[in-house]
Amino acid sequence: MVEVTVTPQSSLADRPVQIRVRGLSPSQLVTLRAWLKDEQGERFQSRAFFRADGAGEVDPGLHAALGGSYSGVWPMGLFWFLQPDTLFRRLVKRDVAGSPFHVRLEVFDGVCLGTDPQEQPLGSCEAERWYVGPGVQRVPIREGRVRGALFLPP
């Protein structure tokens, strides 16, 4: 059974997480894909190809991506290289205090380039990426022509 984990599962968007895939065959070629839908329903995704180590594990913080959205060792590459399915869209979080981005991580056998909804992942998990920590207060600022927000810690 293939298991994908993100530790911690819920974190602030600027904090690193550890992604691990276990239960693969030694030297198995897999595609690790991350995707999310923004508040307008637009999908953003990234993917990287990995070869499992001798224990049948993949850790993007230790193992180099062989290609895809990026190559090399990038522990947070799947989050940093998210690209829109529709050209010229930007990933922007409007409701920073109310809800997180839910990032879905999936692992597929072999090199997976398509987005075929019929294709079943070997394993998957979900990570929450928050933009405001618990207890932080958001105060809107309007002074003359200046607009902004002040975030006060608890």
- Phi then psi for 127, rounded to 5 degrees? -120, 140
Q: In the Cβ-directed half-sphere of 104, how many Cα atoms lie within 13 Å?
A: 13
Cβ(123)–Cβ(85) below 8 Å:
no
Burial of 58 (0-12, 13-18, 19+ CB in 10 A): buried
Which tens digit of pLDDT belongs to each residue from 33-45? 999 999 999 999 9
Tokens of 57: 């594990």
For residue 105, the tally of other CB atoms under 10 A from its CB is 22
Domains by residue range for the chain, with CATH? 3-152 (2.60.40.2240)
Mark the ranges of the chain whose per-residue pLDDT is less than 50: none
pTM metric for this prediction: 0.88
